[in-house]
Amino acid sequence: MPTFVVDEDMPRSTGNILKGFGYEVKDIRDYGLRGADDEGVYQFAQDNKAVLITGDMGFSNILHFPVGSHFGIVIARFPSEMSTQEINSQLVGRLRELTDQDFKGNLIIIEPGNIRMRKR
């Protein structure tokens, strides 16, 4: 079961819900990384051998964060008018459809009702 690092642009409740499903979760806000640059957040996830969950499309730049060189990056792309409850429901639902091997080294983009994956 993967460990997740939740970026600060995700709802605080996302980590709590994932913990409820038995995942180990580290929220960067709890580790003094609020406002950290992408490199700092990325390095924290790598140091913890964790999959990064973020809404920041900057992490989709495979030249800067090459597929195969990390423990996984999940980008949550949901409309801003979508409720936090619906975002969490869809995000967690999609994450639970994936296997541990689906995460390692891959870029995963989760949108309403859809998963796209750039594999290593």
Across 51-67, b (16+ Cβ under 10 Å) vs e yields: bbbbbbeebbeeeebee
Query: What residues does each domain of the chain span?
Result: 3-118
pLDDT band at 105 (very low <50, low <70, confident <90, very high): very high
Task: Provide the whole-model pTM.
Answer: 0.95
What is the per-residue pLDDT across 36-53, written as a single tens digit (0 to 9) for each? 999 999 999 999 999 999
Residue 2: the pLDDT is: 94
The proportion of the chain whose per-residue pLDDT surpasses 90, expressed as a percent, equals 95
Residue 104: the pLDDT is: 95
Q: Please compute the mean of the pLDDT values over residues 52-68 and round it to a whole number.
A: 96
